[in-house]
Amino acid sequence: MEKHAFFLVLALALGIAAGRAATLPDSLVSIDKVYEYTFSDPDRAEAILDALRDRQRHPDAELDRTAGDFYFNTGSYYHAIDNYRRLLENPAVLADDTLHMEALHRMISCYDALHQVGNLTRYVKQLLQKARQCSNEAMQSVALFNMGKILYNQGLKDEGYRDMGQAVELMEQSDYPYKYDNLRYNYNVLVLFLEEDKRYEEELRMLDKLESIASASTGEERYAMQEMDKKELKPVYAHRATVLNRLGRTDEAEEAYHRFLEVADVFSRDNYLIMPYLFDLGRYDDIIRMNRRREQTYREAGDTISYHMRTIKRSLAHAYYAKGDWRTAAVLYADLASITDSIKDREQQSAALELAAVYDLNEKNRRILEQETTLKRRNLLIVGLTGGFLLVGVLLVVVWMSRRRIGERNAALAARVDELVHTESLLQAERSARVELEDRLARLPQPPAPPSASPTEPEADVHQQENRILFQRMDAEVREHKLYLDPDFGRDQLTRLARVDKNRLAEIIRDNTAGNLSDYLNNIRVAHAIGVMRRHTRYTLHAVAGESGFGNMTTFTNAFKRYTGLTPAQYRKAKLGKADA
C-alpha cells in the first residue's frame, strides 16, 4: 500500500511538472501575455511560451522572436541567441529586409550584453551594410550607435561620442515605430559613459531626457509589460542620486535615492546601479543588507553561478573590506574567485562543445566531398565514353557547392574561435586583477581570529586552494611577460617560477586546466598565433608559428587543430579568403 501511495504521489508530481503548460487556460496562451508577465512573473511567462510551442498556433519565426525577447529581457542571453539565430536563419525573415534587420538588431543586443566584441562588430557591420542598401535611417542609427560604443570601449572616446551623437540625432528625427525604445537605450548608455568621464552636467541633461520618455506613454507599447515603467525609471533615479551627490547637491541626491528605494523590488537585478552612490557615502551596511537580500533570492532560485551573483559578491567583498572586516572580505573574495572560475569553466565547456559540433560537421562534409569526388571521377569515365558533357557540368557544380558549404562551415567555426579567444582574454584580465588584489590583501596586517572562528578547513581543500593560487600567479606571470614565446620554455622554467618540484607542478597544471603542461603552453601559444594572424595578414604560417613560440610547423599545426578544430591554413582561409604556406 505504501509503495502504491509513493508511486501515486510521484506520478502526480511528474504530471504537474510536465503538464504545467498544457493546463494553462486559452485566455493566457498568447504572445501578448508572454510580454505582459516577462518582468512581473517570468515563470508564468515561460510556461506560456511552452504552451505556445506545444499548440503551434503561430509561425516559427514569431515564436523564436518572442522566446528570444523573453530570455533577453530576463538576462539569459545565450538562450536568447539560440532563438534569435533560428529567427535570423528563417527563410521568411531572410526574404524580408525589415525583419532581417530587426533580427540583426536583436543579435547585436545579445552580444553587446555579453561583451563579445568580435561577434558584436560582425553583426553591427552586417546591419550597417544592410541599412545603407535599404536607405533605412533608423537601422543605420542602431548600427552607428553600436559602432560608437565599440570605439569608446576601445579607448577612442571622441570618435565614439561622435558616432553615438550622430546616431541619436538620426533616431530622434526618424519616424521609426520603436523610436523611443531605442532612445531609452541610447540615453542610458550615454549616461553611463558621461558618468565614467565625470561629465556630470551633461549627464544630468541626458537624465532629464531619459526620464521624460521613461515615465511617459509613447504609443510604442505593442505588448503591455507589468511594472515596465518602474523598471525604466530605476536607472534614472540611481544615476541621478550618484551624480547629484558628486556635484554636492546632497538633498536632491537623497531624494532621488528614496525614489529609487520605492521601486527597488522591481527587477532587482538592476539594484547594482545604486552601489556607486552608497559607496560614495560610505553606507556599507546598506550595501551589505541590499546585496545579502539579492544573494538569498538567487540562492533560493538555484542561480549561484552567474554574472549577477558575481556582481553581488564583489559589492559585498568591497563593503566588508572598507569596513575593516578583512576576514569576511577574504572569504567573499575567495567566493568571487570561485564563481569567476566556474563561469569560465562553463563558458569554455560550452564553447568547446560548440566547436566540437561544428568540427564534426566539417568532418562529415569532408567525407561527403571525398565521396562526391570519387563519384565525379567514375562518372567522368562514363561521360567520356558516352559524350555526355552536360553531366560534367552538373558534377562540377555539385562539387563547387560542396566546397562552398565547407567554406561556410569553416567561416562559422573561425568566428567561434575568435569569440572563444576574446572571452579568454577578458577572463585573463580579470584573473590578473584578482591576483594583484590578493597580493595587496596579503601585504596588509592580519587581524587576530575571533574566539568563535570556524573550524579549520580539511587539509585536502587547503592543498587544492594553494594549488589554485599558485597556478593563478604562475599563469599571470607567463602571460604578462609572454614567457611562452620562447620555444624552449617548459617544465624546468615553470618549476622555478612556481617554486615547486616537478610532481607538484604537474598536479597544479592538472587541477587547474583541462590538459597537461604541453597542452597548457600550446593553447596559450595558439591564442597568440590567432592574434598574430589577424594583425599581420601578410605573414606566412611559418612566420606566425615562429612568432608564437612554436619550434616547428608540425607542433603548431597539431596544437592549432586540437584547440580550434581547424588547421592554421583553414582558419586563415576562412578569415581572410586566402590560403598560405
DSSP E strands in 377-464: the ranges are none
pLDDT recorded at residue 487: 86
Residue 101, pLDDT score: 92
pLDDT of residue 309: 82
Rounded CA gap, 420 and 531, in Å? 12
Q: Which among 207, 315, 198 is positioned nearest to 260, based on CA atoms?
A: 207
Give which of 113, 47, 55 is closest to 84, Cα–Cα. 113
pLDDT tens for the chain, 581 residues long, are 444 443 443 344 344 434 555 577 777 888 888 888 887 788 888 888 888 888 877 888 888 999 999 988 887 788 888 889 889 888 999 999 999 999 999 999 888 887 778 888 889 899 989 999 999 998 999 999 999 988 888 888 999 999 999 999 999 888 888 888 888 889 888 988 998 899 999 989 988 888 888 765 544 444 444 445 667 788 888 899 999 999 999 999 999 888 888 877 766 667 788 889 889 989 899 889 888 888 887 787 776 777 778 888 888 989 898 888 888 888 888 888 877 777 666 555 544 444 444 444 444 445 555 555 555 555 555 545 554 444 445 455 544 555 555 555 556 556 655 655 555 555 555 555 555 555 554 444 444 433 433 344 445 556 777 778 888 888 888 888 888 888 888 888 888 888 888 888 888 888 887 678 888 888 889 888 888 888 888 888 888 888 889 988 999 999 888 887 788 888 888 776 655 54
Domains of the chain: 482-581 (1.10.10.60)
pLDDT of residue 162: 93
CB proximity list for 454: less than 8 A, separation 6 or greater: none
Cell of 49: 511560451
The phi, psi pair for 302, rounded to 5°, reads 75, 15
**Exposed, middle or buried by CB within 10 Å (0-12, 13-18, 19+), for 488?**
exposed
Angstrom distance (rounded) from CA 98 to CA 138:
11
pTM over 0.75: no
Tell how many helices (H) and how many strands (E) occur in the chain: 26, 0
State the Cα–Cα distance between residues 104 and 126, nearest whole angstrom.
Answer: 8
- Cα distance between residue 553 and residue 378, in whole Å: 36
d(CA 193, CA 148): 11
